[in-house]
Amino acid sequence: MAKAGAKNRVIANAKRVKLLKLIILTANVLHVTLKLILFRQSRTLQSWLGFGLTSLIYVVCYSGIASMAEPTYGANGELLDGGSDLNMGGLCTYYHDLIYLAAIVQIGTIFSSRFWMAFLVVPLYAAYQLWVNIVKPYFLAPRPQSVAQEETPAEKKKREKLERKQNRVRYR
């Protein structure tokens, strides 16, 4: 049986999914009516490919978010789990960002075809995250020096004395 938090999460997730659906629908309607129907001279292969790209982004990201937000119900219809919290970080945040970026680009391309360049932010950000989280910490981290190289003769003598003391047999 679900608690009040899970019920509140179901309501919040439904509102968020509805908002995303509205954003996607608004951007698509504006783009199709203004760019592809009214301004026929600006209809090019690039605009159709861009529309297909943004539609693909919408489908992938929206279906991912909708599956995360889907609640789980028991056999008798009672709420077992309210679905994932859509405010959590990670992949859900990236999905939201891609939907917002695609909507902005889609609306912006009505006015200028150069708005497609805004999609370059995605691979640049991915390269930045790859550098910061994988390449730099693992491949460019300073190598630890061995203990023997760092010790002074006094420290070595003290360490050996401590080791001998620990290895003695103790009688109680």
Is residue 150 a part of any domain in this protein? no
Asked whether 49 and 56 are in contact (CB, 8 A), the reply is no
Give the per-residue pLDDT at 4.
81
> Which pLDDT score, from 0 to 100, does residue 172 have?
65
**Per-residue pLDDT tens over the stretch 3-62:** 788 888 889 989 999 999 999 999 999 998 888 778 777 778 888 888 899 999 999 999
Residue in 134, 133, 103 with CA at minimum distance from that of residue 119: 103
DSSP class of residue 133? I
Residue 159, token pair as written in the block: 């360490």
Q: Flag whether pLDDT at 147 surpasses 60.
A: no
3-state class percentages of the chain: helix first, strand second, coil last, to nearest 5: 75, 5, 25
Residue 127 CA to residue 134 CA, distance in Å, equals 10
Question: What is d(CA 18, CA 101) in angstroms, rounded to the nearest whole number?
Answer: 18
Number of independent structural domains in the chain: 1
CA distance 101 to 10: 26
Residue 134 lies in a domain: no
Q: Which of 76-90, 125-139, 146-160 has the lowest mean pLDDT?
A: 146-160
Residue 101 has pLDDT above 80, yes or no: yes
Cβ count within 10 A of residue 115: 16
The answer to the question of residue 157 being in a domain is no
Q: Would you say residue 71 lies in a domain?
A: yes
Beta bridge partners of 72: 81
Domain membership flag for residue 112: yes
| 127 lies in some domain | no
Residue 128 included in any domain:
no
Q: Which residues constitute the domain of residue 70?
A: 4-116
pLDDT, tens only, 123-139: 999 999 999 988 888 88
In a domain, 20, yes or no: yes
Determine phi and psi for 80, rounding to 5 degrees: -95, -45
Q: Give the pLDDT confidence score for residue 134 in this predicted structure.
A: 87
